[in-house]
Structure formats: structure tokens, C-alpha cells
Amino acid sequence: METNNSFNEQFEFSGKLKTYSLVAIVVGIVAIALGFFLNTEREFANLLLCGYYFTCVCIAGVFFCALQYAAQAGWSASILRVPQAFAKVLPYAAAILILVVALGIFTPQQVITEEGHQTIKGTMLYKEWAPKEITTKGSEAYNAVIAGKSGYLNIPFFFVRMAFYLIAYSILGLMLVKYSNNEDELGGMFNYKKSFNISAAFLAIFGFTVPLFAFDTIMSLDAHWFSTMFGWYNFAALWVSGLSVITLLLISLRKQGYFTWVTVDHLHNLGQLMFGFSIFWTYLWFAQFLLIYYANIPEEAAYFYKRWEPEFQPWFWLNIVVNFLAPFLVLMARDSKRAVPVLKTACIILICGHWLDYYIMIMPATVGPKGRGFGVQEIGTFLGFAGLFTFLFFTALSKFKSLVPKNHPFLQESLHHHI
Amino acid sequence: MSSTKYILGLFDDPDEMMHGIDKLQKNSIPIYDVYTPMPIHGIEAKLGIKDSRLGYAAFMFGCLGGTTIFTMVYYFLVHDWPMNIGGKPHFAVPDFIPVTFEWSVLFASFGMAFTFFYSTHLFPGRAPRVMDLRATNDRFVIAIDAKGNTPHEDITSLLKEAGAVEIKHNDRKYVSYE
């Protein structure tokens, strides 16, 4: 079979797409500024949500590459540049997340006690464990439970861990990109073998640290509560949202006239992964819920109690509808995975759905039912981050000399992929 | 009038067999079926075989399994013998989900297996119906219904041209009746 694809074509980032992404960034900046002015704490919660989401999607790109190399998968060889571009964006995402977390921890917040006269210094984010008074014996705000956890949950160690995860993921991701670029220039198996080893190392590090990353960034907002399922539940969200973004970008790139070699078979595979891992997400979500529901221990049930407040309950249910029922029913049939408009709709549903998933994790633990809101701040911040991601992704993609790893040993298999 | 019922073209290479299919189709000779020892990508589309409906069967069986166990558990734990388990309401839906899920999977998998056996006539104790025994070993076989097809010699020579290593004119459809 002959293929008439020009592999030396480069992506050109210009026109409407660039304008729209820049407009979205400006909208985001305005919304964030407005948010800080209107309600600082809620804005911090939103920034954490979007920063975490943004980072997770980029990590999912590195994970995708590593998984394909470690499994020696052939079908994905011709689409690898998309997740590789995610890996290139990851350092920026990581820097933004660390900045948001640092600002959240070091920005003081005045907390008025019930008596109404005493003000205690709190923090914008991680207020259950980050303020010094909580772990200082004799202080009014002293909390024995949190003090007992302070060996792990203290500010310096928290940042050391955060930096370790994100630097490790970023460096390994960039190494995969580097070896793939070298492979383009030199050919041969040397770089593929290197990529395989890097991937194996990444998967081992990722497997052990990704639950901790979720524990630190999100679960420690509810510092009294803990769940061992939480890490994998977050991983499932990371992976499903990452796959949805990869698929959506591939569909958009195809529409723009690039990636002409990506057939409906490749999209079918991605659709299968999205479908399968949405079920996996539901499985973990439910496994966490059922054990807590069944045991009914107050310390554990507190998490769902907070999310069961009337302000959050409709969102709580909507979360399951959007992230389980929608992909389950939309993506189940083979034909719908092969119909590009349907797949695109499913991607958009899942991307919004996982925003809601993170919203349900973060908001009850930060602003609480009284401070909850959904308005300009939420939509604007999300738009800003979406624009930033789009801008950085397409810029990174346009830097690649070719849109396909030309000398990838499985490239022909991928070009003739058929299911 | 010959007693030939089926003409079989035996190939030892899948690519040549695909070639053979092209050739027969170009000469508008209808192909009865093709038997290969391993799956060949793209052959369904070439032969115009409809998509399998096994997935729909699996879905229906899954729904059946889920409904069956949910009804049963409802009858046991809510209607017939309500028990106080940890102070929960009798109709505690989350507790029913795991078993509903398991039965859906169980019914779907057994249902799929039995549907497959039914549609391929594979039953225990029954010799499978095979048109050529080597189609399960190292031969790629194209079968052509001899009845009403243009001179058999033409088909034979077409197959030979396409690279068939052996051509059989069989008087009976299957070589392995019971």
C-alpha cells in the first residue's frame, strides 16, 4: 500500500485558532483579576482547580507516550506528536501549579472566631493544616489530629514533594521528546530502546507517586479525612480527561488539514480507551463511596456529608451523570466511536465533566457550601486556562520539525492500522 | 452435468488469496465464503460481510442479568426478609450495585459465548463442519458455490492464475459430517 502523506510538513500556528486562544487568555486574566477583587478565596480555589487540571492533562500526555513505548504499541506511533507536545507544556503547567499552591499557602486570610472579636491568621488554601497555629501547642486553633499528621503535612516537606513529582514527570517527559526527535534525525533502534527504558522508569515513578500527588494537592484540603482510593480515583480522572483532550485535539488537527494519516480506526481506539477508562473512573468513584457508605464511620462519612449539602447535592449527582452515564451510553456502540461528531461531543462532555469532578473535590473543602458559586469566576478562569493550554500546545507542536516520528520502528504498522 | 457442489481454491499465502478474491470479484464470480487459519485484516470489508451483532446480544444479556439479580435481591432483602444491616434502609441501593454489576458481566459473558456457539453451530459432541480440513492448518481457502456459476474450468483457471496451489471440485459441501 502506498501512502501519500508528507511527513515533513510542519504545523503552522496562526489564524483564528491563535486569535481565539489569545482572546481566551485575556478573558481568563480579566476573570481572575475580577475574581480576586470579588472573592479572593473562591478565586484561589478556582486557580487550584484549573492549575491542577491543566497539570494533570499534561501529565496524561507523558503517561500516554510512556505507556505506548513500554507496551511497544504500534497503532499509536503516528499520533505520538500530540502527547509529546503535552510533555513539552508540562513544565509551564507545573510552574503555574506550584505558584498557585505557594500563593495559596502564603496568603493570609483573616478568620473571625465565633465570639466575633478574635482574628486568627489562616491561609487561602490548605487552611486545615497549613496555618502555624494549628500545630502549635497551646494555641487556640491547636488541632491534635492535624498535629499528629504534621510529620508529613508540613509546608517545607509539602513543597519538596510537589517539586519532586513535577520535576521528575517533566524531565522524563522531555527526555521522551528528545529521544523521539533524535530518532527523526538519526534513525535506527538506539533511540527507541532509550525511550523504552525512560518509559519504564517513568511508569514506575509515576505509579508510586501519582496517588501521593493527588493526596497532597487535593485530598489534603480535607486534611482530617483520608481515603486510599483517592489517589487512583484522581488518576482515573487524569487519564480520562487527558485522553479526551488528545482525541479532541486530533479531531481538530485533522479538520485543519494536518494528521491526514489519522484514520477513523485510530479515533476508534482512542474512543475505546475513553469509554473503558470512564467505566474505570466510575468503578473507583463507587468503590470509594460504597465502603464509606457501608461502614458509616463519621470520620470517613464527613467527606460525603459535605458534598451532600443542598448547595452541592445536584452537582454531586450531575457528576455521575456526566462522567459515567454520558460516556457509557454515547460511546458504547462501535458505530458511535467511529462517527467523528459523536466522538467529539463525548470528548467535550468528558472535558467539562472532569472539571465538575474536580469542582466537587475542591469546592466543599475550600469555600464550603456558603461560599460556593458558579459564575464569571469559574467559567472565566477555566476559559483562561483552556486558552493557555491551547496556545502552549499548538506552539509546542509547531516546533516539531515533522508531525510524525518518521523513523519510529512501528510507524508503518500505525499508518496501516485497522480494526 | 457434473456433480460438483463447491469449488475450493487453496492458497498457501494470504496475500495471494486476497489477490484471488480480487480476481474473482473482477470477473463477477460470487464467493460463497473464505476460510483462513488466522484472522486477516480487511477481509470482511472486501467480502462485504456485515458487522457482527454479537455486541447487541451481549448488551441484551447484560441487561437481563442486571435486572434478574436486582429483582431477586429486592425480593429477598426488601420484600421477603428485611434485615437491619448497620441501620441502613432496607432498600439500600448502593449495596445492591456490586452484585448487579457482577451478574450483568456474568450473563453478558455466558450469553456471548452461547450466542457465538449457536450462530457457528459449535456444540459439544458435534463435529465441526469444515469445507477443507487444511483451512484450520496452513491453507487459505476460497469456496465458490458451483451451482449456476460460469464454466467450472474458467473458475479453475482463474484460481490457478491467482496462485492457488490446489483446486478442489467437491461433491459434498462439508468433508466432516458428523
Q: A291 CA to chain B: closest CA distance, Å?
A: 9
Whether chain A has a CB inside 8 Å of the CB on B50: the answer is: no
Q: Is the pLDDT of residue A391 over 70?
A: yes
Specify if B155 maps to a domain: yes
Disruptive mutation site among B15, B40, B41, B93 for chain A (greatest number of A CBs within 10 Å): B41
- Pair B63, B102 in one domain: yes
In chain B, the residue whose alpha carbon lies closest to the alpha carbon of A417 is B41
Whether chain B has a CB inside 8 Å of the CB on A290: the answer is: yes
Whether chain A has a CB inside 8 Å of the CB on B93: the answer is: no
Whether chain B has a CB inside 8 Å of the CB on A334: the answer is: yes
Specify if A106 maps to a domain: yes
Q: Name B141's bridge partners.
A: B10, B35
Amino acid B69: pLDDT: 97
Consecutive H or E run containing B106: helix B93-120
By the 8 A CB rule, do B31 and B47 touch? yes
HSE (side-chain half, CA atoms, 13 Å) at A205: 21
Mean pLDDT (chain A, rounded): 92
Rounded Cα distance between A273 and A263, Å, is 16
Show residues of chain B in contact with A293, CB under 8 Å: 94
3-class SS at B176? Answer: coil
Whether chain A has a CB inside 8 Å of the CB on B96: the answer is: no
**Grid cell 459523536 — which residue?**
A342
Rounded Cα distance between B174 and B5, Å, is 10
Percent helix, strand and coil across chain A, each to the nearest 5: 75, 0, 25
- As to burial, measured by CB atoms within 10 angstroms (0-12 exposed, 13-18 middle, 19+ buried), residue A265 is middle
HSE (side-chain half, CA atoms, 13 Å) at A194: 18
Contact B55 A334 (CB under 8 A): yes
Q: pLDDT digits over A193-209, tens only?
A: 999 999 999 999 999 99
Amino acid A117: pLDDT: 56
Specify if A333 maps to a domain: yes
Specify if B176 maps to a domain: no
Strands of the sheet containing B6-11, edge to edge, are B33-35, B140-145, B6-11, B166-170
What is the residue range of A53's domain? 15-401
Contact A418 B41 (CB under 8 A): yes
- Percent of chain A topping pLDDT 70: 96
- As to burial, measured by CB atoms within 10 angstroms (0-12 exposed, 13-18 middle, 19+ buried), residue A115 is exposed
pLDDT band for position B51 (50/70/90)? confident
- Pair B65, B114 in one domain: yes
* More confidently predicted of A102 and A141: A102
- Pair B59, B93 in one domain: yes
Show residues of chain B in contact with A418, CB under 8 Å: 41-42
Q: pLDDT digits over A62-87, tens only?
A: 999 999 999 999 999 999 999 999 99
By the 8 A CB rule, do A366 and A377 touch? no
Show residues of chain B in contact with A333, CB under 8 Å: 55
For residue A216, give the amino acid letter. Answer: D
CATH number at residue B158: 3.30.70
Specify if B175 maps to a domain: no
Sorted by sequence, the CB contacts under 8 Å of residue A13 that are 6+ apart come out as: A394, A395, A397, A398
Q: Is the pLDDT of residue A118 over 70?
A: no
Backbone angles phi, psi at A258, to 5 degrees: -100, 175
Q: Are strands B33-35 and B166-170 parallel, antiparallel or unpaired?
A: unpaired
- Pair B76, B106 in one domain: yes
pLDDT band for position B133 (50/70/90)? confident
Contact A296 B86 (CB under 8 A): yes
- Pair B110, B153 in one domain: no
The size of chain A, in residues, is 419
- Pair B60, B81 in one domain: yes
Show residues of chain A in contact with B22, CB under 8 Å: none
pLDDT band for position A290 (50/70/90)? very high
3-class SS at B35? Answer: strand
Whether ipTM exceeds 0.85: no
Contact A334 B87 (CB under 8 A): no
Rounded Cα distance between B106 and A291, Å, is 23
**Listed ranges A265-269, A370-374, B26-30, B170-174; the one with the highest mean pLDDT:** A265-269
3-class SS at B31? Answer: coil
Question: How many domains is chain A partitioned into structurally?
Answer: 1
Q: Are strands B166-170 and B140-145 parallel, antiparallel or unpaired?
A: unpaired
What per-residue string of b and e applies to A317-355 under the rule 16 or more CB within 10 Å gives b? eebbebbbebbeebbeeeebbbbbebbbebbebbbbbbb
Amino acid B171: pLDDT: 86
- Pair B76, B46 in one domain: no
Amino acid A1: pLDDT: 44
Q: pLDDT digits over A292-301, tens only?
A: 999 989 999 9
What is the residue range of B19's domain? 6-51+129-170
Contact A332 B59 (CB under 8 A): yes
By the 8 A CB rule, do B139 and B10 touch? yes
Q: CB-CB: which of A286, A296, A418 is closest to B97?
A: A286
Specify if A413 maps to a domain: no
For residue A261, give the amino acid letter. Answer: W
Consecutive H or E run containing B168: strand B166-170
End-to-end CA gap in chain A? 17
HSE (side-chain half, CA atoms, 13 Å) at B96: 19
- Pair B42, B72 in one domain: no
Q: Is the pLDDT of residue A47 over 60?
A: yes
Q: pLDDT digits over B62-104, tens only?
A: 999 999 999 999 999 999 999 888 888 999 999 999 999 999 9
Amino acid B2: pLDDT: 74
Strands (E), A100-227: 108-112, 119-123
pLDDT band for position A4 (50/70/90)? low
pLDDT band for position B1 (50/70/90)? low
Show residues of chain B in contact with A289, CB under 8 Å: 94
Amino acid A112: pLDDT: 61
Mean pLDDT (chain B, rounded): 89
**Listed ranges A88-102, B22-36, B75-89; the one with the highest mean pLDDT:** A88-102
Name the pTM for this structure.
0.90
Q: Name B10's bridge partners.
A: B141, B166
C-alpha cell at A309: 449539602
By the 8 A CB rule, do A140 and A76 touch? no
Rounded Cα distance between A417 and B18, Å, is 18
Q: Are strands A108-112 and A119-123 parallel, antiparallel or unpaired?
A: antiparallel
Q: pLDDT digits over A316-364, tens only?
A: 999 999 999 999 999 998 899 999 999 999 999 999 999 999 999 999 9
Q: Which DSSP state fits A221?
A: G
Q: Is the pLDDT of residue A3 over 70?
A: no
Amino acid A362: pLDDT: 95
Show residues of chain B in contact with A290, CB under 8 Å: 94-95, 97-98
Specify if B177 maps to a domain: no
pLDDT band for position B124 (50/70/90)? confident
- Pair B89, B110 in one domain: yes
Specify if B178 maps to a domain: no
Amino acid B125: pLDDT: 81
Rounded Cα distance between A240 and A151, Å, is 33
Whether chain A has a CB inside 8 Å of the CB on B44: the answer is: no
Q: pLDDT digits over A20-45, tens only?
A: 999 999 999 999 999 999 989 999 99
- Pair B80, B115 in one domain: yes
Q: Find, among B67, B139, B156, the residue nearest to B103 by Cα.
A: B67
C-alpha cell at A32: 481572575
Backbone angles phi, psi at B159, to 5 degrees: -65, -40
Specify if A8 maps to a domain: no
For residue B2, give the amino acid letter. Answer: S
Amino acid A162: pLDDT: 96
Q: B14 CA to chain A: closest CA distance, Å?
A: 15
- Pair B158, B145 in one domain: yes
Amino acid A114: pLDDT: 60
Helical H segments across B27-92, by residue range? 43-47, 54-74
Contact B55 A290 (CB under 8 A): no
Contact A286 B59 (CB under 8 A): no
Consecutive H or E run containing A99: helix A81-106
Q: CB-CB: which of B42, B86, B88 is closest to A418?
A: B42
Rounded Cα distance between A357 and A324, Å, is 11
Consecutive H or E run containing A339: none
Question: How many domains is chain B partitioned into structurally?
Answer: 2
